[in-house]
Structure 1
Amino acid sequence: MLSPEMNDKLRALHSDAGSGLDGCAALLGMDHLVVSLSLGDQVTEQLWSSSRISADFEDLQFTLGEGPGPDALRTRRLVLEHDVAAVDAERWPALIPAMSRLPIQAVFCLPLSLGGITVGVLTGLRASPGHMSGQETDDALGLAAALTLQLLCDGRPPEDELHRAAVHQATGMLSVQLALPLSEALLRLRAYAYSHDRSIVEAAEDVVSRRLRLDDDDPEPESPKETRG
């Protein structure tokens, strides 16, 4: 059963998604919360996050192409890890060591699914290990169900409003430049960002601005040229 506080949040969510999600992290016993939209082929787009830490975690999963969010999206099942330190490193071999710089010790991912359709993932993060209580689990499931219906009704936001608009544009450019399918072009961009310890958004912006080409063996972005008055 939903708590009265979550019922109030869901009513607010119906009228204004952004303000409706404010305060939901604390209500679920989380330190951070992020909502992502599925774009197909296990690719997600961040729609809303409660903090810089949750946004960084979501970008890290996107860059590496692995983690509890992608697992929840692929399997349409809850992925609840109450103690990240206890997770087998082979499960997410790139993500586990990369997470060490973020204050995250527990991760809870709920697929936003209805029937055979999965439209996104709701992710809760904690700075310390610990299970969700029964009430927190009920409220999280209720929030996930409400977000699923809202995304199904509202659809995908415009391209220029997407958090990773540059990534999608760069992927298209690389697909043409390298004569690769979009999925492989995205893998090339991810590999570059990971191997150079860069944000995938920053790398994509360099591709879009033509400061970076990935058809070289080990490309480095060119410095912006000075413009003459």
Structure 2
Amino acid sequence: MADYEDLGRDLTRLVAQNGPQAPRRICEAVVASSLADGAAVTLISDPDRQEPICATDEIATRLDELQFSLAEGPCLDAHSLGQPVLVSDIADPADTRWPGFADGARATRARALYALPMRIGGARLGILDLYRLAHGPLSREEVTMALRAADAATWAVLNPGAGGRKAPAEVLEDLIGGGLARAEVHQATGMVAVQLDVPVATALARLRAHAFAEDRPLIDVARDVVARRLKFDPGDDSDLG
């Protein structure tokens, strides 16, 4: 069994050092310890407002994109419940919680997924997502270390550097409200809302439905809308099935 004492020391050191790269370095430390094969940090204010902060590799990035595109998955459940969601085998046919996400996740090499909430007090900031290439549960010690890593990521996000600690609401407004990585999705959602004369939430649902129907990443569909290569017609709802 792996010895995670070094990881505990690394997490303490990285939180103390702080800086804008601290969340990424925390993810890298988790992977280096063999606790997980990949990791990602995503901030969430609600299911439709998510902002990826960092990911260690393409699989972690893809898993995050799938959950945002489909509005389902262990990450969103962990955030809404405020507790870890641990999936020992995403290929288990008996687990029917997220049919769309599970299909997409099985297309990656990830087998086990562990979503740890990032929170302080009653405030929920987001999720530390971990995955392994081999199926299987986390041991009690590994769950403890994964939760410590999520706590470290929380403090790293709340203490971004020389500006000092920020309140959770300020962090979410700065990073999610600013639309760092998914600005095109937010812009496309607004354009579709105007095209269809519908609320923003409905417009985002239509974008997601179109991406799912075409088996394309949501960000690619959004870019087509922003570039005016794709326009939604109020009389055409074929993407809804």
Whether contact under 8 Å (1:42, 1:73) holds in the other structure is: no
1:173 aligns with 2:173: no
Q: What is aligned with 1:191?
A: 209
1:58 aligns with 2:76: no
Q: What is aligned with 1:6?
A: 8
Inter-partner Cα distance in structure 1 for 2:6 and 2:222: 43
Deviations 1:78-118 (A, max 9, x none): 10111223363531121122222111110100111222211
**Deviation for aligned residue 1:145:** 1.2
1:203 aligns with 2:221: yes
Q: Which amino acid aligns with 2:149?
A: L
- Partner of 1:88, secondary structure, is coil
- Out of 163-172 and 102-111, give the one that drifted further: 163-172
Q: What is aligned with 1:90?
A: 96
Q: Which amino acid aligns with 2:60?
A: S
Q: Which amino acid aligns with 2:211?
A: A
Q: CA RMSD in A?
A: 2.4
Aligned pair count?
Answer: 219
In structure 1, list runs of 5 or more residues that go unmatched: 221-229
**Deviation for aligned residue 1:122:** 0.6
Inter-partner Cα distance in structure 2 for 1:123 and 1:87: 22
Matches of residues 70-109 of structure 1 in structure 2 within 5 Å? 70-86=76-92, 88-109=94-115
- Out of 29-38 and 80-89, give the one that drifted further: 80-89
1:146 aligns with 2:152: yes
Query: Taking structure 1 as the reference length, what is the TM-score of the superposition?
Result: 0.85
**Deviation for aligned residue 1:27:** 1.9
Inter-partner Cα distance in structure 2 for 1:218 and 1:50: 38
- Partner of 1:110, secondary structure, is strand
**Deviation for aligned residue 1:160:** 6.5
- Partner of 1:130, secondary structure, is coil
Q: Which amino acid aligns with 1:46?
A: P
- Out of 66-75 and 94-103, give the one that drifted further: 94-103
**Deviation for aligned residue 1:126:** 0.8
- 1:33 aligns with one of 24, 29, 39: 39
Query: Taking structure 2 as the reference length, what is the TM-score of the superposition?
Result: 0.81
Inter-partner Cα distance in structure 1 for 2:34 and 2:120: 22
In structure 2, list runs of 5 or more residues that go unmatched: 159-164
